[in-house]
Amino acid sequence: VTLLVAVHASSENWTPARWRTRLAERLPGRRIALWPDDAVDPSSVRYVAAWKPPPGLLATFPNLEVVFNLGAGVDALLQDPRLPDVPIVRVATDDLTNRMSEYVLMHTLMIHRQQRYLDDCQRRGFWTPRDQWAANALRVGVMGLGVIGADAARKLALVGFDVAGWSRSPKSIEGIACFAGDAGLAPFLARTDVLVALLPLTPDTRGVLDRRLFADLARDGRLGGPWLINAGRGGLHVEEDVLAALDDGTLLGAVLDVFATEPLPPEHPFWGHPKVTVTPHNAADSDAEAISAYVAAQIVRHEAGGALANLVDRRHGY
Amino acid sequence: VTLLVAVHASSENWTPARWRTRLAERLPGRRIALWPDDAVDPSSVRYVAAWKPPPGLLATFPNLEVVFNLGAGVDALLQDPRLPDVPIVRVATDDLTNRMSEYVLMHTLMIHRQQRYLDDCQRRGFWTPRDQWAANALRVGVMGLGVIGADAARKLALVGFDVAGWSRSPKSIEGIACFAGDAGLAPFLARTDVLVALLPLTPDTRGVLDRRLFADLARDGRLGGPWLINAGRGGLHVEEDVLAALDDGTLLGAVLDVFATEPLPPEHPFWGHPKVTVTPHNAADSDAEAISAYVAAQIVRHEAGGALANLVDRRHGY
């Protein structure tokens, strides 16, 4: 078996059988098997392409060479206590990156252009524009400068926003003021009107978006207070701290695509909160076609002696 | 008198006195006068900076050299039957261009990302994402490829949309499929899911956005029908045709920043129409600072023998 596919059907495009078809088209002549549907000899499995496989499953394949995590976030996978010591590749397709940047750009623009206020004016039939400044008056701060964060930062800057970025280790991106590490966090937050969280979820980043951090954001900007956009992982923000910060004005608003519990429970206060925009974890839907092409290309390159791309560093958790 | 300023106070930043201060700072040693407040010898006026001056006013200055129209659209100015035969410069600042592109990008993204549907889901507390495709599946068509339209088209393409443009005379923009003239209109419309109108208002373009044109837009796109964004001039679209096209499904939705009558009258059906987004002609607010710097720089260059930029071609009406 060349490749074992272990996924759950989260949509029609994500049914296991469709993954097999797509991957078989791109890896002609190989055996592609589905877990748990197909009977396979565990020792024959060289690669596994998986999304949130049950803990322990990967350890049952003694000749496993590479695990492909079928999404950008590997936080679920890394919680497997018996995760075998083989390379883990995560999805980093242009398709996924571009979609995330669409989301970040749209919501930053909606905040900047006061679209919720204008929607309210329309509902009331009021022609009452407020002062509107240009994008260069708004300081956007992107937390997390991996492939996705760097692309979002660049596109925000092209539209004219005043963009900075923060990352754990130092980065350099043309046109973006880059801050790094513990020492860089306070100055980064102090110049940020709209905070965009695109961090991986790791033991270090869990709960990083808390009251203390919100209190360090800029309060001298054009919006009258800071905003949070979390399109990374729900575990990054502390829900009760977001609510408290919105209620006491530490945050002016929040746009959340990810939550501690998904789907967001019907009784959750975020749903009806006037300062919160809830989206159903669809900032960057995974395109199964693009991911299949990506996995197949990496297998072909690996077998030709080439290096695997976008390997996960387990020490850092992403 | 070097420069006579003839504007109406449409906001605090647009009070005539503030224009005088700003322009005087940038043209030290010159006399800047306000119409109608200041007494001036009409024969002393070399330049007029005006926004919608009363018809006939400009003809009273026999030594007028240049008129600066304090906005991008010169349709109001050109209706003056006694407009003197001097060069007319229109505002084309980067600030104005960037703001218009912000508006076009945000509303195109909101259509593309089905944000109105997601808002409705939030109001109802439903976690029910629909299929979401990437931006390259959406064909955006920009009508009008002047400085503003070309910038919007480029930025839409950078975000990933499949962008084409149409203009009266042939243009060439890298990465944009450019159509031109009467012959190019039908093929341009046939591949357009979201039509962005950024045309000047001229006798040729008045009422160009009508039923017949809407019927020629693409009907095979991902959205299930075409959308209209008009951020140009209200006279471009025929209001009853927009309403009829929305009601019979020829158009799926419309985003309108400009109207035949502004402010849009309280009883107008656009206000409460479920398929219409109304914004109060604020797609690109004029920044008085940026415009003052632009006018002053053109006067200095002109007097040093340099060419005036962004001259209006009266034959074409823009």
Question: Using CA atoms, how far apart are residues B222 and B98, in angstroms rounded to an integer?
Answer: 28
Q: pLDDT value at position A56? A: 97
Pick the closest to residue B35 from B63, B57, B55 (CA basis). Answer: B57
Q: Which is the catalytic residue, given B233, B237, B268, B314?
A: B233
Q: Quick check: A270 pLDDT over 80? A: yes
In this predicted structure, which of A9-13, A108-112, A246-250, B110-114 has the lowest mean pLDDT?
A9-13
Q: How far is B293 from chain A (nearest CA, A)?
A: 16
Q: A282 and B128 in contact by Cβ < 8 A?
A: no
Q: pLDDT value at position B8? A: 87
Residue pLDDT, tens place only, A121-157: 999 999 999 999 999 999 999 999 999 999 999 999 9
Pick the closest to residue B232 from B72, B90, B99 (CA basis). Answer: B72
Chain B residues whose beta carbon lies within 8 Å of the beta carbon of residue A155: 158-159
In sequence order, the 6+-apart residues with CB closer than 8 A to the CB of B226 are B192, B193, B194, B195, B214, B217, B218, B219, B250, B251, B252
Question: Using CA atoms, how far apart are residues A29 and B178, in angstroms rounded to an integer?
Answer: 44
Residue pLDDT, tens place only, B99-108: 999 999 999 9
In this structure, how many other beta carbons lie within 10 angstroms of the beta carbon of residue A219? Answer: 15
Task: Give the rounded percent of residues in chain B with a pLDDT score beyond 90.
Answer: 94
Q: How would residue B14 be classed by pLDDT, with cut points 50, 70 and 90?
A: confident
List the single best residue of B116, B117, B159, B257 to mutate versus A (max A Cβ within 10 A). Answer: B159
- For chain B, the residues whose C-beta falls within 8 A of a C-beta of chain A are 11, 95, 98-99, 101-103, 105-106, 109-110, 112-113, 115, 118-119, 121-122, 125, 127-129, 131-132, 134-136, 155, 158-160, 262-264, 266, 271-272, 277-282, 285, 287
Question: Using CA atoms, how far apart are residues A145 and A172, in angstroms rounded to an integer?
Answer: 9
Q: B98 and A134 in contact by Cβ < 8 A?
A: yes
A vs B, Cβ pairs < 8 A, gives 113
Triad B239, B241, B243: Cα angle to 5° = 70
* Average model confidence (pLDDT) across chain B: 96
SS (H, E, C) chain A: CCEEEECCCCCHHHCHHHHHHHHHHHCCCCCEEECCCCCCCHHHCCEEEECCCCCCCHHHCCCCCEEEECCCCCCCHHHCCCCCCCCEEECCCHHHHHHHHHHHHHHHHHHHCCHHHHHHHHHHCCCCCCCCCCHHHCEEEEECCCHHHHHHHHHHHHHCCEEEEEECCCCCECCEEEEEHHHHHHHHHHCCCEEEECCCCCCCCCCCECHHHHHCCCCCCCCCCCEEEECCCHHHECHHHHHHHHHCCCCCEEEECCCCCCCCCCCCHHHHCCCEEECCCCCCCCCHHHHHHHHHHHHHHHHCCCCCCCECCCCCCC
Q: Which is the catalytic residue, given A18, A107, A233, A302?
A: A233
Q: pLDDT value at position B13? A: 83
Chain B residues whose beta carbon lies within 8 Å of the beta carbon of residue A264: 127
Pick the closest to residue A7 from A71, A50, A69 (CA basis). Answer: A50
Q: pLDDT value at position A45? A: 96
Q: Which amino acid is at B242?
A: V
Q: Which two tokens stand for residue A260?
A: 């501690």
Q: If you write DSSP's letter for every residue of B250-280 in order, what string do you get? A: SSSEEEES--SSSSPPTT-HHHH-TTEEE--
Q: Quick check: A12 pLDDT over 90? A: no
Q: A127 and B159 in contact by Cβ < 8 A?
A: no
Alpha-carbon distances of A281 from A72, A147, A291, B119, B246, rounded to whole Å: 13, 19, 18, 14, 31
List the single best residue of A127, A132, A277 to mutate versus B (max B Cβ within 10 A). Answer: A127
Nearest CB partner across the interface for A280, out of B121, B135, B160: B121
Q: Quick check: A263 pLDDT over 90? A: yes
In sequence order, the 6+-apart residues with CB closer than 8 A to the CB of B221 are B137, B138, B139, B193
Question: Using CA atoms, how far apart are residues B154 and B176, in angstroms rounded to an integer?
Answer: 7
Q: B109 and A109 in contact by Cβ < 8 A?
A: yes
How confident is the model over A190-198, as a mean pLDDT? 98
Q: pLDDT value at position A11? A: 78
pTM tops 0.90, yes or no: yes
Residue B281 annotated as catalytic: yes
- Helix, coil or strand: residue B111: helix
Triad A253, A273, B281: Cα angle to 5° = 55
Nearest CB partner across the interface for B128, out of A102, A155, A280: A280
Question: Using CA atoms, how far apart are residues B83 and B60, in angstroms rounded to an integer?
Answer: 10
Q: How would residue A86 be classed by pLDDT, with cut points 50, 70 and 90?
A: very high
Q: B132 and A99 in contact by Cβ < 8 A?
A: yes
Radius of gyration of chain B (CA): 21
Q: Which two tokens stand for residue A177?
A: 């003021």
Q: How would residue B24 be classed by pLDDT, with cut points 50, 70 and 90?
A: very high
Q: How far is B123 from chain A (nearest CA, A)?
A: 7
Strand stretches in B133-282, DSSP E: 139-143, 162-167, 177-180, 194-197, 227-230, 253-256, 276-278
Q: Quick check: B71 pLDDT over 90? A: no
Q: Which two tokens stand for residue B191?
A: 């591949």
Whether A227 contacts A254, CB under 8 Å:
yes
Helix (H) or strand (E) holding B301: helix B288-303
* Average model confidence (pLDDT) across chain A: 96
Whether B161 contacts B136, CB under 8 Å:
yes
Q: Which two tokens stand for residue B150?
A: 């070309």
Chain A residues whose beta carbon lies within 8 Å of the beta carbon of residue B109: 102, 105-106, 109
Q: If you write DSSP's letter for every residue of B29-44 in order, what string do you get? A: TS-EEETTTS---GGG
Partnered with residue B90 across adjacent β-strands are B69
Q: Quick check: B221 pLDDT over 80? A: yes
In sequence order, the 6+-apart residues with CB closer than 8 A to the CB of B286 are B14, B70, B71, B91, B96
Q: B98 and A277 in contact by Cβ < 8 A?
A: no
Question: Using CA atoms, how far apart are residues B29 and B220, in angstroms rounded to an integer?
Answer: 62
Q: pLDDT value at position A71? A: 87
Pick the closest to residue A99 from A198, A8, A200, A235 (CA basis). Answer: A198
Q: Quick check: B114 pLDDT over 80? A: yes
List the single best residue of A97, A133, A279 to mutate versus B (max B Cβ within 10 A). Answer: A279
Q: How far is B38 from chain A (nearest CA, A)?
A: 29
- For chain A, the residues whose C-beta falls within 8 A of a C-beta of chain B are 11, 95, 98-99, 101-103, 105-106, 109-110, 112-113, 115, 118-119, 121-122, 125, 127-129, 131-132, 134-136, 155, 158-160, 262-264, 266, 271-272, 277-282, 285, 287
Radius of gyration of chain A (CA): 21
Chain B residues whose beta carbon lies within 8 Å of the beta carbon of residue A281: 129
Q: A159 and B160 in contact by Cβ < 8 A?
A: no
Nearest CB partner across the interface for B134, out of A95, A155, A266: A95
Q: Quick check: B286 pLDDT over 90? A: no
Task: Give the rounded percent of residues in chain B with a pLDDT score beyond 70.
Answer: 100
Whether A34 contacts A16, CB under 8 Å:
yes
Chain A residues whose beta carbon lies within 8 Å of the beta carbon of residue B272: 125
Q: Quick check: A1 pLDDT over 80? A: no
How confident is the model over A190-206, as a mean pLDDT? 97
Chain A residues whose beta carbon lies within 8 Å of the beta carbon of residue B103: 113
Helix (H) or strand (E) holding B6: strand B3-6
- Helix, coil or strand: residue B147: helix
Residue A191 annotated as catalytic: no
Residue B70 half-sphere exposure toward CB, CA atoms < 13 A: 28
Partnered with residue A311 across adjacent β-strands are A89
